[in-house]
Chain A
Amino acid sequence: MQTVTSLKAYKANVDEALRNRFQRQALDNFAVTYPTGRANAFAGMNIAELVDKVADIKDRALGRMDELYAQFKANAEKKGIHVHLAATALDANAIIADIAKTGRATRIVKSKSMTAEETLLNHYLESEGLEVTETDLGEWIIQLRHEGPTHMVMPAIHLSRHQVADLFSEVTGKRQETEIERLVKVARRELRQKYVEADMGISGANFALADTATIGLTTNEGNARLVTTLPRIHVALVGLDKLLPSLEDALHINRVLPRNATGQQITSYVTWITGPTPCAVADSGRKEMHIVFLDNGRRALAKDPVFSQVLRCVRCGACANVCPVYRMVGGHQYGHIYIGAIGLIITYFFHGRDKAKNLVQNCINCGACKAVCAAGIDLPRLIKEIHARIQDETDHPLSSILLGKLLSHRKLFHQLLRTAQKAQAPVVGENGYLRHLPLILSKEHNFRALPPIARTPFRERWPKIKPSVANPIQRVALFAGCVQDFVYPEQLEAGVALMTRFGAAVDFPMQQSCCGLPALMMGEKTAARDVARRNILAMRGSGVDQIVTLCASCASHLKHNYPQLLADDPAMREAAEQFSERVVAFSSFMNDILEIPADAFRSSGTQTTYHAPCHLCRGMGVRHAPHELIRKAGLAFVPAREEETCCGFGGSYSGKFPQISAQILESKLADVAATGADLLVTECPGCVMQLRGGAEKKGMKLSVKHIAEAVVQTLEKT
């Protein structure tokens, strides 16, 4: 559970987590195996369709939250269920404590519920003198350790069998061995006794069906069934977002939930409870059943035009499973109570700005979470929205204001880059990298060699290289982006040469500037909007078919974020849409539009692997074209196992969290090294900077190139 108040303290916690070797190894193993398990579980199914269906069902239900609640309550009361509505977490806890007192219950068994974690229910009940035992194995372990969960589905993923054995030795008063099978049985038998004694059981619910007043629970261990069967009182704590009209809705969601969570087709138990069932130890012969619905901001959130989609979340935990940052730092540093991408967002709504403000900065914007979300939530965008919102509500840090201002003034910005170029001249080493880090960067940034700013930026080279093509088959405007323009102009030159060679007329509109993504990443939405307007105007009127960029981050920002940023601007909305439609990534343009032929290249046979930039594979949905270009260019393609895992650059992210960036890079380079390739190709200057700088620093014999540079080299001379 992350609770510190300053960014500095947060970074200190992160550093500590990065040194936790067991956790790192455990999360690494999981990150590598999860995608295969998930793919197998969904084999033969259309995942996108299933996810759309979940999103649609949830959106409809969220739009009718109050109505469904009323319907559920009316049906439930007819069946003798007591229904309560808690406005806040504290209210929910008080209601539950009261149920226990009125029912003279002192011993409580609980099955896993993120909602109860949200309200810190156990603490409350214990402070009221009640004994609460978690019965889910992982939850029991962390309860005994007085910790919060580090994963929504696998709460104790950060612990080793040795730690568990020590813990169980303490609990039983007898020395326990470390064999997992045995430890599980020890828990089985210790907890069995707790069920026998308990007079109240608390569960959560995955679904609440309004038409029959049924709750649905998905579990693997079977503890929820005992919790809801043995004690004479059953209380279910359920978020209002779990309400659904009917069983079919739940069955649709349940096709996705377990597959996405753990790669299971279904959990061992799916339990549907309606009304107070017979119970031998209750005076009436029937259970006393309560359902406490929790609002805690959900009703307001359901009406929020931007954020209501976060309530679609079915708590599968997948957004943590694939997150490169979670993989490095674990759940205690990647959430307050809710963990992973969704945790960064809902912490703000359920637990307040203070708990969220550091966390939201720790997203590298790789998009992996969005691509895997069971409910199709646009998580990275919402994380940025929260970041911007928090800055608007409090203060924008000076660095972020300055960046915003600078990016909004193209001339000033470019002038500054030119001045910096001159100033750096004495520190450029023979290897072509900066000999010292710029003063603004601390030694933590020393994990990769940094390139200097180019002596002549691309925009100054343009008038000289400007090609002319007779009878072009395509007319394109080149969008450079700052990194290629000012650091790697040679990548653009290679791209221009290739496009020209295969019949495209290329123009370079000089008024273009930074795409504005760094501003958005820093929470400077106004500046991001400003830059977007300027770029759209700069590229307008050139009468081109496509806007091509060799930078994946620019491409995805121009294509997806521009229309969103300008959606409320009547003067620009349409222009932004038209602009966005024309944006195409370099490799798609070459392979899919120009359809360049393989016989234009000579075979080099260089063992070549590929890193898929986040903003290309997920952001632009471009996966096939770069592979094809590599093959067409006569290079021997050896795919890497984790081709689509982030390299850790993330623009300003690596400036803010250099330690995490360094560790992500480390994993990435190990994955690349495992292919045995001599050449690593990618399609984003940011990735090149990170990977080339990292390989250089480690002294790897690996050449890192932008795909345009690699491909242009095997071009047959004409």
Chain B
Amino acid sequence: MKPDPAVVETFIQKAEAVSAKVVRVASPEAAFAYAVDVCATKEACQLLVSGCEAPLSATAEALCETKQEKIMAAPNLPEVEFGALEKLCREKSIGLIKDDLRSHLAGIDIGFTRADYAIAETGTLVINSKSEALRLATMVSEIHIALLPVSRLRATAFDLTEELKQWMSDPADYTAMITGASRTADIERVLALGVHGPLELHILLWEEC
């Protein structure tokens, strides 16, 4: 199903308005290459630019030091795709993990996910996050990169109620609506990105056919 181009436009505009980066990609492979490129060229720890050198208390410092190499997490990729991404990562000496994100709570460079749906009205991604690994990938990563097949785009949240209710009728569910990066304005109402969650959100828009 091809969505209305106006809906796609709205989505891009709304997502960019909350500082998400929207990039069109031709294929999942192109998306992987994009993610690996971002990971390879980014600072080892994104927090550097804005305060890794800031002194911390001893315990927080200790946690930070557990992070050594560059890590990408891709918990919800199908087997074959994971393999393809892994190959690219290896070439750049990036560690790619699928689960056990708890061993990397100090920080993961890139969380790579496939979004289930998106909502144009607000520029929102919808990700079914029943798996703990997937939840953590979108929470503790410094950069969250999400692959979004254009066919999954809907005009408003109301166009998704059936699907969402289906998920919620399961014995356990965790559904995330994600719009832009983690943000706060709690100090002097000045906007700062990346308070607890990702500092950046990149959305890779993939037009399947």
Residues of A bordering B, CB below 8 Å: 26, 29-30, 78-80, 135-138, 141, 154-157, 159-161, 164, 171-177, 180-193, 195-196, 209, 211-212, 214, 220-223, 225-226, 228-230, 246-248, 251, 254, 262, 264-281, 286
Contact = CB atoms under 8 A, between A and B. Distances in A.
B60 A251 contact: no
A272 B124 CA distance: 14
B188 A272 contact: no
Contacts, number: 232
A136 B186 contact: yes
B171 A271 contact: no
B183 to A, nearest CB: 5
Contacts of A277: 130, 132, 135, 172-174
Given A154-B185, A220-B182, A209 B168 contact: yes
A222 B195 contact: yes
B167 to A, nearest CB: 8
A136 B132 CA distance: 21
A135 B190 contact: no
B103 to A, nearest CB: 10
A196 B105 contact: yes
B175 interface: yes
Interface stretch (B26-34, B51-59, B83-91): B51-59
B203 to A, nearest CB: 14
B38 interface: no
B32 to A, nearest CB: 25
Nearest to A223: B196
Contacts of B111: none
Contacts of B140: 192, 226
Q: Which of B102, B157, B165, B188 has the most CB of A within 10 A?
A: B188
A266 B177 contact: yes
Contacts of B178: 268-269
A64 to B, nearest CB: 19
A272 B173 contact: yes
B63 A196 contact: yes
Given A181-B192, A222-B139, A272-B175, A265 B14 contact: yes
B179 interface: yes
The interface residues of chain A, by DSSP majority, are classed as: mixed
Given A265-B121, A272-B168, A274-B175, 18 more contacts: A174-B54, A184-B192, A189-B63, A192-B60, A192-B105, A192-B140, A221-B182, A222-B196, A223-B195, A230-B102, A246-B165, A247-B164, A265-B122, A268-B178, A268-B179, A268-B197, A273-B173, A277-B135
A313 to B, nearest CB: 22
Contacts of B23: none
Interface size class of B (residues with CB under 8 A): 35 or more
A80 B172 CA distance: 9
Nearest to A181: B50
B180 interface: yes
B76 to A, nearest CB: 14
Contacts of B180: 268
A209 B169 CA distance: 11
Contacts of B161: 247-248, 251
Contact of A185 (B50, B139, B164, B198): B50
B195 A274 contact: no
A225 B173 contact: no
A188 B105 CA distance: 12
A269 B178 CA distance: 5
Nearest to A178: B187
Interface in B8-33: 14, 18
Contacts of B139: 222, 225-226, 229
Contacts of B176: 225, 269-272
Contact of B171 (A79, A137, A186, A230): A79
Interface in B95-136: 100, 102, 105-107, 121-124, 130-132, 135-136
B47 A189 contact: yes
A262 B183 CA distance: 12
Contact of B56 (A186, A230, A278): A186
B170 interface: yes
Q: Which of B100, B107, B179, B186 has the most CB of A within 10 A?
A: B186
Contacts of A230: 102, 105, 136
